[in-house]
């Protein structure tokens, strides 16, 4: 990034330190732009898919063709909306919450590998780093719930935090066999282990296949999607931890949520679905890598949307039962089995 900028004729006269700052700011700007555009696209597609599943059209007017610019119009509306806050809110925490939620999603985007040379920061601990950034989202949710000074918000926040920290365990355990197999936490290395024909994808290894389903279901809980959307159950908690938020603050929660959906899908694609490889060696040209990666991730996001409009919601006790008594034992047994097989075979 820094080198690209210093090669531009317009900027070549600037001192190196200014260029470093410029490179940092523009890298951040690019990620922010991706999240905003991607988030708006996902919100539009969520409404269209919901409409299709419920035999109606969804947004049709704004932007001409099938209401494609509906999210942009909504964004402008949210920008212009009056910023209302509860009088007895804990102001610092209440203001900080949307930023923390958004920051968690933003930081994860930095390591997503769209192509071999098309990644914000090629960290050696990529997978571990993504697990770490999701902790910030939990803090944002707690901060929103407490700061709002509202019972619904607090209940939603407590549920959200309990759910996310519980499901982080099966999520991590499901990813571990793949890490053992590739011997690396670097997302690029994990993808390169799946090069070639489609049978090299980790999904098609029987033990990783089990891991994949545990990962997908746990990631639904991580991003508070149906059937695990207990933190924002509209029939009992109004809308949970973001009940009191309006305008741009609400928009940050909303964008953060959709960005998180993309992040968990992209990690699923990276670890199990061959990342930027298409599964057919003839199609694997570097120019197509980002496209393939994004299309696969969009497909997993679509699955999340599809499930949301299909499944009913679990109860709180069922949610915890599934996590602690079903997923964690299966994931642990799977990990142990993989370790044993690997040791025996080597």
Partner 1 sequence: MISGLIWFLFAGVSVGSAVVVATSKNVVHCGFGLLFTLLGVCAMYAFLGADFLMATQVIVYVGGILVLVLFAVMMTHRIESNRLRDELVQPVAALGAAALVFGLSMLMITRTAWDEKVPGEALPTTSSFGRAFLTDYLFPFEFASVLLLVAMMGAALITREKKEEEDQ
Residues interacting with partner 1, by CB under 8 A?
Answer: 17, 20-21, 90, 92-93, 96, 123-125, 128-129, 131-136, 138-139, 142-143, 146, 154, 158, 161-162, 165, 168, 185
| Cα separation, 76 vs 78, whole angstroms | 5
The least CB distance from residue 277 to partner 1, in Å, is 24
**Identity of the residue, 5 or 300, whose beta carbon is nearer to partner 1 in the bound complex:** 5
Contacts 24+ apart (CB under 8 A), 72-79: 72/40, 74/43, 75/40, 75/251, 78/247, 78/248, 78/250, 78/251, 79/247, 79/248, 79/251
The least CB distance from residue 120 to partner 1, in Å, is 14
**Identity of the residue, 19 or 322, whose beta carbon is nearer to partner 1 in the bound complex:** 19
Closest by CA position to 157, among listed 252, 99, 239: 239
| Alpha helical stretches, state H, the chain | 2-7, 16-53, 70-80, 91-109, 126-147, 151-182, 187-192, 206-222, 234-237, 247-272, 289-308, 316-321, 328-345
The least CB distance from residue 53 to partner 1, in Å, is 35
**Identity of the residue, 43 or 131, whose beta carbon is nearer to partner 1 in the bound complex:** 131
- Ramachandran assignment for 274, one of left (phi > 0), alpha (psi -120 to 50 degrees), beta (any other): left
Closest by CA position to 163, among listed 233, 70, 253: 233
The least CB distance from residue 86 to partner 1, in Å, is 15
Rg (C-alpha) for the chain, rounded Å, is 21
| Cα separation, 32 vs 296, whole angstroms | 21
**Identity of the residue, 73 or 96, whose beta carbon is nearer to partner 1 in the bound complex:** 96
**Identity of the residue, 55 or 343, whose beta carbon is nearer to partner 1 in the bound complex:** 343
What is the sign of the dihedral through the CA atoms of 183, 185, 188 and 191? positive
Q: Per residue in 113-131, is it b (16+ CB within 10 Å) or e — as a string?
A: bbbeeebbeebeebbebbb
**Identity of the residue, 128 or 306, whose beta carbon is nearer to partner 1 in the bound complex:** 128
**Identity of the residue, 38 or 145, whose beta carbon is nearer to partner 1 in the bound complex:** 145
**Identity of the residue, 41 or 129, whose beta carbon is nearer to partner 1 in the bound complex:** 129
The least CB distance from residue 31 to partner 1, in Å, is 18
With beta carbons less than 8 A apart as the criterion, state whether 274 and 283 touch.
no
The least CB distance from residue 313 to partner 1, in Å, is 23
The least CB distance from residue 265 to partner 1, in Å, is 21
Closest by CA position to 296, among listed 173, 177, 194, 225: 194
The least CB distance from residue 20 to partner 1, in Å, is 5
The least CB distance from residue 124 to partner 1, in Å, is 4
**Identity of the residue, 90 or 284, whose beta carbon is nearer to partner 1 in the bound complex:** 90
């Amino acid at each position: 990034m820094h080198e690209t900028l210093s090669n531009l004729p317009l900027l070549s006269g600037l001192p190196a330190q200014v260029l470093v700052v410029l490179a940092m700011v523009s890298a951040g700007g690019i990620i922010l732009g991706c999240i905003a555009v991607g988030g708006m696209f996902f919100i539009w597609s969520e409404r269209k898919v919901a409409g299709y599943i419920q035999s109606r059209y969804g947004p049709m007017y704004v932007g001409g063709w099938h209401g494609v610019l509906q999210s942009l119009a909504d964004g402008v509306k949210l920008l212009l909306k009056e910023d209302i806050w509860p009088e007895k809110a804990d102001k610092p925490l209440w203001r900080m919450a949307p930023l923390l939620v958004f920051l968690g999603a933003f930081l994860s985007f930095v390591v997503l590998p769209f192509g071999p040379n098309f990644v914000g920061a090629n960290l050696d601990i990529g997978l571990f780093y993504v697990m770490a950034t999701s902790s910030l989202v939990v803090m944002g949710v707690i901060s929103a719930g407490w700061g709002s000074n509202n019972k619904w918000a607090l209940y939603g926040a407590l549920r959200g935090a309990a759910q996310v920290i519980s499901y982080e365990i099966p999520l991590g355990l499901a990813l571990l066999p793949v890490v053992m197999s590739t011997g690396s936490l670097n997302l690029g290395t994990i993808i390169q282990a799946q090069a070639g024909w489609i049978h090299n994808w980790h999904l098609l290894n029987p033990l990783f296949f089990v891991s994949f389903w545990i990962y997908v279901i746990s990631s639904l809980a991580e991003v508070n999607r149906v059937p695990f959307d207990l933190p924002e159950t509209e029939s009992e908690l109004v809308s949970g931890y973001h009940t009191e938020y309006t305008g741009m603050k609400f928009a940050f929660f909303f964008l953060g949520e959709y960005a998180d959906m993309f992040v968990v899908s992209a990690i699923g694609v990276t670890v199990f679905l061959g990342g930027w490889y298409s599964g057919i060696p003839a199609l694997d040209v570097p120019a197509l890598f980002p496209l393939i990666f994004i299309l696969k991730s969009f497909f997993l996001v679509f699955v999340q949307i599809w499930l949301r409009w299909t499944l009913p919601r679990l109860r709180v006790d069922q949610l915890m039962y599934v996590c602690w008594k079903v997923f964690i034992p299966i994931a642990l047994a799977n990990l142990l089995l993989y370790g044993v097989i690997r040791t025996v075979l080597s």
